[in-house]
Structure 1
Amino acid sequence: MDRRKETGLSAPPDESDARSLISMQELEPSPVEEAPPDLKSGAYFPKREVDPSSEQGGFAGKFSFLSLGLSGHRWDYWLSTLQKYSTYPPTLFFVLHIANTSLIPLATRTVPASEPYLLLTRPIYQAPSLEHVVLTVPIITHVVSGITLRSIRGRRRARLYGAETRAQRYLLKSWPKPSVQARLGYALLPLLGVHVLVNRLVPLAVEGGSSGVGLGYVAHGFARSPAFWNLYYIVFVAAGVWHIVGGWATWMGWRVTTARHTRGESGSIHGGYLGYMESPEQTKRKNRMWRIVHGIAAVGTAIWLAGALGVVGRGGPGSGWEAKNWDALYRSVPVISGWL
C-alpha cells in the first residue's frame, strides 16, 4: 500500500491545480475612476433592454425612423408640443376677429361704418389658401392631440394598476377628471361648429361663397331671432375667451384652468397630497394667479360682448334684395333653421 495512504496525507497537487490556485489569489490591477459617473446622463446605470411587446418597444421600435434622431422623449411630449403650438395661428385670427367684431364697432358705433374694416381684413383669414392654414388644420391638430394625450395617459394609468378589461378600467377610473380648460374646449366645439355652419358653410353651399356675409348679415340674424342669438353669443364668446386666456396662462406656467384631480377626488386645487401642504406664500401666489387669469378673461368677454351685442346686435334688419338673400341663407341652415 502507498505510504501516503498509510499516513493519511493527500497527494500533492499537480501543476494545473497550482496555476488555478495562484490565479485565484492574484488579481490584475484595475484603474480607479478619478471622477464618478454622470448620474444625469444615465452613465451609472446599465442600459435596460426594451421589451418588443411594450409601448415603446413595439410601436416606437417599428417606426423608429420617425424619431429623426430626436430620442429621449415619449409620445406625450410630442403631442403636448403639437397641442401647444397649434394654438398660435388661431390666436392671431381671434385677435383680428375681436378687433373687427367688437373694438371697431365700439369705436364707430354703427354697423355700416364698421363693414369696410371687416372687408379689409377678410382676405387675411378667409382666403382659401390661408383659412385652412390659420384655422382648420391648427384647430383639428389641437383637438386630436388633446384627445390622444388623454387616451395615452388613461391607458398608461390602467396598465400601471393592472386594469385589463373595460370594467376594471371603469372601476379604476383611469381617465383623469377633465379640467376646467378641457371642459371649456369640449363645450366650444359645437358652438364653433354652429358659427362656421351659419357664416361659412351655408353661404358657400347656397351662394358659392361668403362675400355677402358681414356684420350686416349678423345684425339681420339678431333681428330675426334676438333671444337665440343673444344667448348663443354670450355662451360662445365666454367659453372661447376663457379657453384662450386659460390656455395661454398655462403656456406661461400659470396652471389655473388646467389644474385637475383624478376621478372621485375631492378638494380644491390648493390642497395637499400625501401630507404635503403649501406654504402661505405659495397659496397667496396661486390665489393671485387665479384672480388675474379669470379677471383678464372676464374683461375680455365683457369687451367682446359690448361690441358684438351692444352695437352689431342692435344694428337692425337689412333691407331690399340683400335682406331677401340673408333670409334665404338663414332658412337653409340645417337642423336649427326653425330657431333662426
Structure 2
Amino acid sequence: MDSRSLRATPSQETLISLMQLDPLPIADTEKDLPPLPEDSNEDEKATARSIGSTHARTTSLGLSGSNHGSIYYLTRIQRYSTYALSIFTTIHLANTSIIPLITRSVPASESYLLLAREIYQTPLTEPLFVALPIAAHIAAGVALRFVRRNQNLHRYGGATPAVLPQKSASNSGAPTTKFSPWPPVSLISLSGYGFALGLGAHVFMNRLLPLHMDGDSSNIGLAYVAHGFARHPLTAYAAYTGLIGLACGHMVWGWAKWIGLAPLAGWKADLKSLGSTNHRAEDVRRRKRRRRIWLWVNGTAVVASIVWAAGGLGVVARGGRMSGWVGKVYDDLYAAVGQ
C-alpha cells in the first residue's frame, strides 16, 4: 500500500465544500429554533442554576418553566386577538351590509347601527374590544418578523463559517445566492398590511376626523358614507372595494391558517410542502385535496366579499347626498381632507 495514502491531508476544496451553506429563512412557525451547539453548554448551566428557583417564581398564569419563547407568545397574542375582532367584524358586517341589503334603505338601517354602537362604541368596550385587539394583532405580527429575523441572523448571518467561501466564490465570478435574514412574506401578511392601511384610513375618516372637527361622532353613520360616495364616487368606490377585498381575503385566509387549512391548500401540482408518498395514485389524491381546500378557502373569501359589497356598495353607496345642516356638517368634514 502506498504510504502517501496513509498520510493524506484534507484538501482545501473539501474543507470549503463542507463549509458552504445555502440557508433558507425559517417559515412561519410557533416554535422557537433550538439552541446552537455552542450555546448548549451555556444554556445547560443556566438551567441548572435556575432550576432551584423556578418553582418559587411560578405564577398563577403558569408562564414560568414552560420553556416557551417569544414566538410562542406572540403567535398566541396574534391568534387570540382575532376572536374579539371577529365578533366586532360580524356585528359591523351585519349593520353595514346585511341589514341594508334587507331593508334596501339607508335611513331604515341607521337605527340598527345606533343599537350596535351601544355594544362596541362605549368608552369601555371600544378600547377594550376594538382598539386593543387591533393594536395587539398588528404589533404581534410585526414583532414576529423581527424575532424570526434575529433568529435567522443568529444562525446564518454574521460570523458563520460559510462567509469566507461565499465571498471567495463571488469574487471568482460564480453565481451565488444572496441570503436575506428576513422571513418570506406570505400573501396573508401582505393582505394584512394592506388591510391595516385601509382600516387606518377608514377609522380616520369615520371616527377620528369627526371627533377632531366636531368633538363628537354621533352624526356619523351610513348616511355619512353615502354622502361621500355621492361627492366623490370614483375615489369612494375604489377605496371601499379595496378595503372589502383585503379585509375578506385576510380574515378568511387567516382563520384558515389558525384551523390548519391554509398549509394544506395550494393550486400548484408539486407536493414540496407535504412531501411525496412515491405512489402516483396517492400523490394525485393529495393534489386534488389541496386544490379543493384552496378553492373552498378562496370561494369563502369571494362570497364574503360579494355579500359585504352587495349591501355596502349596492345599497349604502347609492343613498345619495344629505341635505340641510347635516349635509353641511358632512361637507365640512370631507372638505377638511380635500375631498
TM-score, normalisation: structure 1: 0.73
Select which of 271, 287, 293 maps to 2:291.
Answer: 287
Maintained 8 Å contact 2:265/2:294: no
Unaligned runs of 5+ in 1: 1-47, 260-266
Match among 189, 214, 217 for residue 210 of structure 1? 217
The Cα of 1:135 is off from its aligned counterpart by 1.3
Counterparts of 1:1-340 in structure 2, within 5 Å, are 49-51=41-43, 68-163=63-158, 171-255=178-262, 268=268, 270-272=270-272, 276-277=275-276, 279-332=283-336, 337-338=337-338, 340=339
Q: How many residues align?
A: 272
1:70 deviates by 4.2
TM-score, L = length of structure 2:
0.73
CA RMSD of aligned residues (A): 3.0
Contact 1:250 1:258 (8 Å CA) reproduced:
no
> Which letter maps to 1:237?
I
Q: Deviations over 1:58-78 (max 9, x none)?
A: xxx9xx878743422222111
Q: Deviations over 1:136-160 (max 9, x none)?
A: 1111111111111111112212221
For residue 291 of structure 2, what is the amino acid of its counterpart?
N
Aligned mates of 2:270, 2:96 — CA distance in 1: 38
3-state DSSP of counterpart to 1:211: coil
Higher Cα Rg, which structure: 1
Pairwise CA distance, 1:270 = 4.0
The verdict on how the C-alpha distance between 1:245 and 1:119 changes in structure 2, with shifts beyond 3 A counting, is same
5+ long unaligned stretches in structure 2: 1-39, 164-176, 278-282
Q: For residues 258 and 196 of structure 1, what CA distance do their matches in structure 2 show?
A: 33
Q: CA deviation at 1:53?
A: 11
Could you tell me whether the CA contact under 8 Å between 1:181 and 1:258 is conserved in 2?
Answer: no
Output the amino acid matched with 1:277.
Answer: S
Contact 2:120 2:129 in 1 (8 A): yes
- Counterpart of 2:115, as a letter, is L
Question: In 1, distance between residues paired with 2:269 and 2:120?
Answer: 38
Segment of structure 1 superposing worse, 144-153 or 184-193: 144-153
- 1:185·1:243 contact (CA, 8 Å) conserved in 2? yes
Instruction: Give the AA of the match of 1:244.
Output: M
